[in-house]
């Protein structure tokens, strides 16, 4: 099994969930005392958040590309980025490495397609919902993506940064997310892509009237498949 190089810390709470899920999955797959061979580079999210706020995606891409290359040099045979938002610079990372990169939006799209759906609602940070990089990637798989209206986007973004990124899980925010998902369904969404790793800490399938696609869990399984040679 190849070592998985993980770009994490964006935020550490979601990276912790990724790490835990990966190890639990390997134990289930292989039994005994097996765990996931992982090299984790946990970045200081304050540095990344400042670049996001400044819109300096070039600097962010340069930073993450360099860290990905360092993981490969350290022995990683596959690279993952444990954040949906920063896949806005995924192309920079892919250019910097020679080992496989597992793109989280591709993984989500494959799951949606396998479920027989063609239209999904997307929840994530404002960057993920409003910039085209994620929706365009889903469109490459033939999917139509709906995003919440401006007010609902602001609510989702605020909950992610002001609560979930700080480790706060609030029942009131969970109710607001349920309402937002219901409105997306009314607009035609057949499923909901949880396009932010932190959202899975708050929202589960039970909170949605349609299937949800938890990108963290899906990303982990896809990365493990690549690591063991079961996926391209």
Q: Which residue has the tokens 């085209």?
A: 132
Spatial CA neighbour of 121 closest among 83, 153, 160: 153
The rounded distance, in Å, linking the Cα atoms of 223 and 117 is 23
Query: What letter does residue 195 receive in the DSSP assignment?
Result: -
Q: Report in angstroms the alpha-carbon separations of 120 from 57, 123, 185, 189.
A: 26, 10, 9, 5
The rounded distance, in Å, linking the Cα atoms of 147 and 124 is 9
Q: Which residues are catalytic?
A: 83, 196
Determine the distance from the C-alpha atom of residue 67 to the mean position of all C-alpha atoms in its chain, rounded to a whole number. 18
Whether 88 and 133 have beta carbons less than 8 Å apart is answered as: yes
Measured in degrees and rounded to the nearest 5, phi and psi for residue 96 equal -90, -10
Spatial CA neighbour of 100 closest among 227, 228, 230: 227
Give the pairing type, strands 4-8 and 78-81. Answer: parallel
Whether 123 and 164 have beta carbons less than 8 Å apart is answered as: no
């Amino acid at each position: 099994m190849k070592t998985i190089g993980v770009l994490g810390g964006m935020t550490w709470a979601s990276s912790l969930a990724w790490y835990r899920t990966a190890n639990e999955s390997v134990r289930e797959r292989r039994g005994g005392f097996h765990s996931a061979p992982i090299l984790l580079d946990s970045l200081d999210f304050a540095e990344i958040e400042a670049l996001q706020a400044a819109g300096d995606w070039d600097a962010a891409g340069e930073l993450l590309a360099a860290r990905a290359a360092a993981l490969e040099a350290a022995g990683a045979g596959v690279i993952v980025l444990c954040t949906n938002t920063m896949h806005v610079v995924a192309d920079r990372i892919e250019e910097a490495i020679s080992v496989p990169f597992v793109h989280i939006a591709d993984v989500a799209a494959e799951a949606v397609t396998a479920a027989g759906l063609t239209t999904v609602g997307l929840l994530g940070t404002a960057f993920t919902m409003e910039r085209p990089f994620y929706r365009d990637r889903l469109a490459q798989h033939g999917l139509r993506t709906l995003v919440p209206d401006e007010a609902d986007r602001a609510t989702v973004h605020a909950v992610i940064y002001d609560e979930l990124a700080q480790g706060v899980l609030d029942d009131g925010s969970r109710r607001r997310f349920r309402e937002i998902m219901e409105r997306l369904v009314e607009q035609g969404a057949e499923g909901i892509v949880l396009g932010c790793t932190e959202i899975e800490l708050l929202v589960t399938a039970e909170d949605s009237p349609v299937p949800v696609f938890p990108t963290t869990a899906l990303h982990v399984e896809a990365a493990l498949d690549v690591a063991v040679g079961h996926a391209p």
